[in-house]
């Protein structure tokens, strides 16, 4: 979501007459689009700000702007005012569209320009977007989150759920298709609650039906699905629509009911396993990926063992694994029984080792299958090879040429690794 916001920022800047600089040293303006979901991201920003301070001393005309989720936290503004006086502009997640005006303001004065809104007023439509993703495009369908998982900062920095009107989403996708995009990824913190705030009664399944009907579009992806809101109607819709990819990112977070309750996730381990069963029955071959966290306050060895058991039971295709860390202002940060770092580290290492074993095994199962894959461009690890993606969101590298970019090819899977498959072309479009 942040990366898509960066595309929006770049689009607005281009419209204002700026061009992308080669690097920081060539830039007249540097915009930091920050994330505060986890501590490491936040620390990186402070490190970068320190380095930019030195650059600004050499280039006094340089404008430094900081936006994103971090700016939205209350304790950040005073810190930027006191310790990072050379930051010219501080803006938030709800007023990204104001950036061009804030730049004009900053150019004319020496004082810091600070403009942060506590809530998004209206959804801004029709802003220019500079897409960085090649043939795939991100499309926000909603903003914010109402769930307040006890560890999570997102609802505080992104506000309450607000869905875009379906006609605006359709319009954007039609334009993307006419500009040569064949694949969209619909974005929302919890796409399954799309439409709950709209008066028309539309839900996420209905939206998928509308998008599936668009000519010229090959593939539809979406992120993120919250397990507690995954309805039977949605499962059947996904199963029946030909363009909706066979991949669901379904963050489980933990395998222990005790921890899930303390996290305020709104489902039990049993609910989750039941949901996985239903999805796998309705969509055979679907790939499931997840987010898992270790070291939530009060997590005992038994709780962690439940997580390990669940991972073994479900066999996810891959997982993002996280060490819990305190986010200021969230309920979990004030909970007693914070887990010591060495225990957290031992748990995540065990978890990663297990998941790697499973991912490798599941990738091996793909060998000798013939799969339709969308070609994305040269491989990031070996420029002599091309990279394509299966409907199940697995990367396949293969011998091919640039002309194939954007087309669907049939690839026979010949090999596998932890994070990719290898293949050969059977049939090109
Ligand atoms: N809306 C998505 C998640 C967005 S945040 C959902 O509900 O699934 C992405 C991931 O970051 C989360 O799934 C969670 O695993 C992780 N995360 C969030 N807050 C965290 C924290 N305080 N410490 C560690 N990981 C965290
Ligand atoms: Fe955070 Fe939970 Fe909302 Fe996801 S659903 S963004 S984890 S509060």
Averages of pLDDT over each 10 residues, the chain, 429 residues = 93 94 93 92 91 93 95 92 94 94 89 90 87 89 96 94 97 94 95 96 97 96 95 96 97 98 98 98 96 98 98 98 95 96 98 98 97 94 92 96 92 96 86
355 shares its domain with 374? no
β-pair type (318-323, 370-378) = unpaired
Domain that holds residue 91: 2-115
Residue of the CA atom closest to atom 19 of ligand 1: 152
Rounded to 10 degrees, what is the CA torsion of 237, 136, 13, 142? Answer: 10
Taking the centre of ligand 1 as the mean of its atom positions, its distance from the CA of residue 409, in whole angstroms, is 35
Q: Which among 146, 189, 260 is the best mutation to test ligand 2's pocket, defined by most ligand atoms within 8 Å of the CB?
A: 189
274 shares its domain with 187? yes
Taking the centre of ligand 1 as the mean of its atom positions, its distance from the CA of residue 205, in whole angstroms, is 24
Residue 125 within a domain = no
Which residue in the block uniquely carries the two structure tokens 């609910």?
271
Q: Of the candidates 142, 118, 121, which has an alpha carbon nearest to the alpha carbon of residue 196?
A: 142
Residue 124 within a domain = no
Query: Is any ligand 2 atom within 6 A of the Cβ of residue 189?
Result: yes
pLDDT of 123 reads 86
Atom of ligand 2 minimally distant from the CA of 145 = 3
The CATH number assigned to the domain holding 405 equals 2.40.50.140
Taking the centre of ligand 2 as the mean of its atom positions, its distance from the CA of residue 149, in whole angstroms, is 6
Residue 128 within a domain = no
Residue 291 within a domain = yes
pLDDT of 135 reads 86
156 shares its domain with 294? yes
> Within 6 Å (CB) of ligand 1, which residues are found?
37-38, 151-152, 154, 189-190, 224, 226, 251, 253, 291, 293, 322, 324-325, 327
18 shares its domain with 151? no
Atom of ligand 2 minimally distant from the CA of 189 = 6
Residue 84 within a domain = yes
Residue 121 within a domain = no
345 shares its domain with 219? yes
Structural element, H or E, at residue 2: helix 2-15
Q: How many structural domains is the chain composed of?
A: 3
Q: Which among 35, 36, 148, 149 is the best mutation to test ligand 2's pocket, defined by most ligand atoms within 8 Å of the CB?
A: 149
pLDDT of 428 reads 66
177 shares its domain with 230? yes
Taking the centre of ligand 2 as the mean of its atom positions, its distance from the CA of residue 159, in whole angstroms, is 11
pTM: 0.94
Atom of ligand 1 minimally distant from the CA of 249 = 8
The residues near 189 (Cβ < 8 Å, ≥ 6 apart) are 1, 142, 144, 145, 147, 154, 158, 161, 224
Taking the centre of ligand 2 as the mean of its atom positions, its distance from the CA of residue 323, in whole angstroms, is 16
Residue of the CA atom closest to atom 5 of ligand 2: 147
The residues near 288 (Cβ < 8 Å, ≥ 6 apart) are 247, 248, 250, 276, 279, 280, 314, 316, 317
Residue 326 within a domain = yes
Taking the centre of ligand 1 as the mean of its atom positions, its distance from the CA of residue 253, in whole angstroms, is 8
Residue 268 near residue 280, CB atoms below 8 Å: no
From the CA of 295, the nearest ligand is 1
Residue 70 within a domain = yes
169 shares its domain with 285? yes
Taking the centre of ligand 1 as the mean of its atom positions, its distance from the CA of residue 95, in whole angstroms, is 23
66 shares its domain with 140? no
pLDDT of 429 reads 63
pLDDT of 19 reads 94
From the CA of 335, the nearest ligand is 1
Taking the centre of ligand 2 as the mean of its atom positions, its distance from the CA of residue 22, in whole angstroms, is 35
The pairs formed by 310-315 with CB atoms below 8 angstroms and a separation of 24 or more are 310/252, 310/255, 310/269, 310/272, 310/273, 311/255, 311/351, 311/354, 311/355, 311/358, 312/354, 312/358, 313/273, 314/252, 314/273, 314/276, 314/288, 314/290, 315/358, 315/361, 315/362
Query: Is any ligand 2 atom within 6 A of the Cβ of residue 31?
Result: no
């Amino acid at each position: 979501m942040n990366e898509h916001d960066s595309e929006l920022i770049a689009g607005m800047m281009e419209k204002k007459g700026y061009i992308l600089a080669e690097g920081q040293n060539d830039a007249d303006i540097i915009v930091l689009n920050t994330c505060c979901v986890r501590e490491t991201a936040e620390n990186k920003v402070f490190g970068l700000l320190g380095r930019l301070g030195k650059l600004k001393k050499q280039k006094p005309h340089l404008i430094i702007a900081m936006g994103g989720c971090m700016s939205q936290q209350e304790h950040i503004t005073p810190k930027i005012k006191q310790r990072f006086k050379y930051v010219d502009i501080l803006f938030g997640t709800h007023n990204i569209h104001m950036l061009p005006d804030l730049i004009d303001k900053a150019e004319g004065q020496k004082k810091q320009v600070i403009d942060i809104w506590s809530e998004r007023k209206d959804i801004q439509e029709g802003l220019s977007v500079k897409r960085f993703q090649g043939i795939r495009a991100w499309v926000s369908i909603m903003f914010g989150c109402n769930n307040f998982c006890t560890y999570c900062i997102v609802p505080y920095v992104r506000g309450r759920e607000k869905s875009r009107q379906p006609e605006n989403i359709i319009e954007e996708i039609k334009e993307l298709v006419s500009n040569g995009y064949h694949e969209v990824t619909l974005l929302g913190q919890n796409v399954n609650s799309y439409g709950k705030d709209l008066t028309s009664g539309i839900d996420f399944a209905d939206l998928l039906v509308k998008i599936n009907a668009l000519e010229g579009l090959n593939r539809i992806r979406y992120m993120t699905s919250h397990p507690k809101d995954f309805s039977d109607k949605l499962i059947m819709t996904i199963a029946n629509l030909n363009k909706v990819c066979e991949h669901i990112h379904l963050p489980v977070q933990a395998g222990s009911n005790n921890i899930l309750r303390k996290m305020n996730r709104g489902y039990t381990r049993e609910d989750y396993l039941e949901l996985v069963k239903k999805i796998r029955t309705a969509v055979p071959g679907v790939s499931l990926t997840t987010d898992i966290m270790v070291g939530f306050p009060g997590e005992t060895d038994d709780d962690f063992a439940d997580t390990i058991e669940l991972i073994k039971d479900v066999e996810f295709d891959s997982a993002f694994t996280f060490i819990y860390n305190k986010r200021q202002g969230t309920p979990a940060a004030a909970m007693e029984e914070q887990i010591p770092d060495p225990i957290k580290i031992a748990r995540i290492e065990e978890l990663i080792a297990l998941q790697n074993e499973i991912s490798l095994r599941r990738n091996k199962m793909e060998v000798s299958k013939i799969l339709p894959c969308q070609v994305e461009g040269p491989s990031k690890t070996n420029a002599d090879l091309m990279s394509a993606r299966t409907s199940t969101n697995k990367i396949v590298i293969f011998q091919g040429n640039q002309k194939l970019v954007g087309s669907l090819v049939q690839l026979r899977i010949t090999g596998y690794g932890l994070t990719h498959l290898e293949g050969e072309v059977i049939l090109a479009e």
